[in-house]
Amino acid sequence: MIHVLLITFLITLFYMAIANRMLTYVRILALQGIILFFVVFLQLNEINTLNFILILLETIVFKSLAVPFFLGYLLKRNKITREAEPYLPNFVSLIITTLIVIVTILLSNSIKDTYLDKMFFVVALSALFMGLYLIASRRKIITHVMGYMVIENGVFVLSLAVGNEMPMLVNLGIMLDIFASVLILGIFLNKIGDVFKDVDVDQLSSLKDY
């Protein structure tokens, strides 16, 4: 069951590679949050109430409700166009995503660690690279936030892969990261939306210092 969920997670990554609309990205992120919740739920056998509440908070409330809602609000408020505006055609993106997954599978094969669940590792690593790829290949600033979110989901899965016990510290770290990225970029966007009419990363290059 867990594996099915993880593969679904992987498929959402593929979908992300070819999605055209900003809203789709937001929905995919919400879906990923839900998937992650179930993965954690099934993966962690012994769970105390406090931890459970925390995980519920992080996955369902935060990842699949609050952040997507916030992103949607940002999209509306700043009147960001619905197109994702990738630099590369979707087809190429799909190929690259496939390559990422293949490479991570190859990589995980070379790792000989008995404690590591390979399935988790592959999904986590591909989510990580996928997030980076999303950031690198999309034109809008808001897609950066989404890329970070995907990376964070990857790190989340990785923390599941390493230990059966949910490491509290990693958990809190992820929370903090999410807050930081959403808040910073939220403020950033709110502010920058007033100055630059297009919320486009290209405009940022005028900030470079030489």
Partner 1 sequence: MNIIIAFIVITLTAVFTIPFLKSKWKSAILFTVILLNALLSGYFAVQTLLGYSFEFLLPGSLVTGMVPLRIDALSGWFMLIINFVFVTGVTYGIFYLKTYPYQKNNISLHAIAFILLHAALIGVCVIQNSIVFLISWEIVALSAFLVVIFEHEKVSIIQAGINYLIQSHVCIVFLMIGFIWVAHKTGSYDFAAITTYATNHNETGALLLFICFFVGFAIKAGFVPFHTWLPYAHPAAPSHISGIMSGVIIKIGVFGILRMILLIKTDYLVLGYFILLISLLSGIYGVMLAIIQHNLKRLLAYHSIENIGIIGIGIGIGCIGLGTNNNVLASLGFAGAMLHVLNHALFKSLLFYTAGNISQYVHNLNLESLGGLIRKMPQTATLFLIASIAICGIPPFNGFISEFIIYIGLYNWLQNATLVPLITIIFTVLGFVMIGGLAILCFTKAFGIVFLGDPRYEFKHEIKEAPFIQLLPLYLIALFILFIGLFPKMFLALLIEPVNLLTGNEFVTSGTFQGRAFDALQTISWAGWGFILLVILILLLRKLIMYKRTTGFGPTWACGYIAPSPRQQYTAGSFVRSYSKLFSSVLLSFRSEKEIRGTFPTEGHYESHPYDKIEEWLIDNPLRAYRSIMGKFIFLQNGKLQFYILYGIIFIVSVICITLFYEKIIAMLSLLLIVIAAFFFTGIIIRVKSIASGRKGPGILQPIMDVTRLFKKGVVYSQTTSYIFKIAPAIYFSSVAIAMLVIPFGQSKGLISFNGDFIFFVYILALGKFFSIISAMDTGSSFEGMGASREALYSMFAEPAFFILMGSLALLTGYSSFHDIFAALHLGSYISYALAILCSFVLIMIATIENSRMPIDDPKTHLELTMIHEVMILDNSGFDLGLILSTGYLKFTVYGALIVNLFIGSVSYEYAIPLFFVIQFIMAVLIGLLESFMARFRMSHNPQFIFALTSVSLLIFFGALLISGKFV
Residue whose CB is less far from partner 1, 55 or 122: 122
Beta bridge partners of 86: 138
Give whichever of 63 and 138 is closer to partner 1, judged by the CB atom: 138
Q: Is 87 in the site for partner 1 (CB under 8 A)?
A: yes
The residue within the footprint of partner 1, chosen from 43, 124, 144, 145 (CB under 8 A), is: 144
Of 137, 153, 159, 181, the one binding partner 1 by CB under 8 A: 137
**In one letter, which amino acid is 150?**
V
Choice between 37 and 121, CB closer to partner 1:
121
Where in the chain does DSSP place strands (E)? none
Tell the smallest beta-carbon distance from residue 94 to partner 1 (Å): 18
Binding residues for partner 1 restricted to 183-202, rule: CB under 8 A: 201-202
- Contacting partner 1 within 96-125 (CB under 8 A): 107, 110
Closest by CA to 21, choosing from 72, 81, 68, 77, is 81
133 binds partner 1 (CB under 8 A): yes
C-beta closer to partner 1: residue 168 or 204: 204
Task: List, as one string, the DSSP characters of 8-50.
Answer: HHHHHHHHHHH--BHHHHHHHHHHHHHHHHHHHHHH-SS--HH
- Is 73 a binding residue for partner 1 by CB under 8 A? The answer is no
Backbone angles phi, psi at 21, to 5 degrees: -100, 150
Longest alpha-carbon distance in the chain: 56
Query: CB 142: neighbour CB atoms within 10 A?
Result: 23
Give residues in contact with partner 1 (CB under 8 A).
87, 107, 110, 129, 132-133, 135-138, 144, 201-202, 204-208, 210
